[in-house]
Amino acid sequence: MHCILSLALSLLIFQQAAQANESWLVKAECRNAMVPVTCMKCLDADHRTAGASNAAGVATIVVDCASKHTDNLVGEMSQLAAANHDKVLVKALEDCCKLLANAKKELAAACQKIDKGDFDGADQSVDSAFNYGVQCHSELDEALKESKADVPSLPTKVMSEMKVHEELCEAAMRMIERLK
């Protein structure tokens, strides 16, 4: 009986030590990503974080989080384009949807490359996704300057989502860079 109790206690201690180590890993990766708040929000929202045992796993979760934000942005921009009558703004929103579709493809490719250990390729894919997002952001900024429409929700909601997308891509690139 003493042996079983001792074994159970040892397993409990080992499990707590493993969880503490995983928590330390996640926090360290986010601190090094230069956008710790955005990074931790992403990781806290994903159920896989608790089981992430290495930096590649954490990077994959962050890339997936950026991909989900990309989906959200495309949906929001599609709705705004459908509801808007300003041609300049509608064109920019439609162009952004195309750019972000390309970003989504690059983020999916990055996850596959991380899984294969192709960290240079993963870094290039996330960099491409980041650049698509930046290009979209720039086009929206220009369209808002030229637009005659009053779109108060665009600058606040969509632009903040754009910033989160960019920060998650930056975080993923920093994490992947350390894997090389």
Does domain 1-178 fall into CATH 3.10.20.30? no
Q: Which pLDDT value is given to residue 49?
A: 87
For residue 59, what are its two tokens?
């990077």
Rounded CA separation 28/31 (Å): 5
CA distance readout (Å), 29 to 8, 54, 82, 109, 177: 32, 10, 40, 21, 12
pTM for the full predicted model: 0.83
Q: Which pLDDT value is given to residue 80?
A: 87
- pLDDT one-digit tens code per residue, 31-43: 888 899 999 999 8
Q: Which pLDDT value is given to residue 153?
A: 54
Rounded CA separation 87/109 (Å): 33
Q: Which pLDDT value is given to residue 24?
A: 65
All structural domains of the chain with their residue ranges: 1-178
Give every residue of the chain whose pLDDT is below 50, as ranges.
2-22
Tokens 């709705």 belong to 79
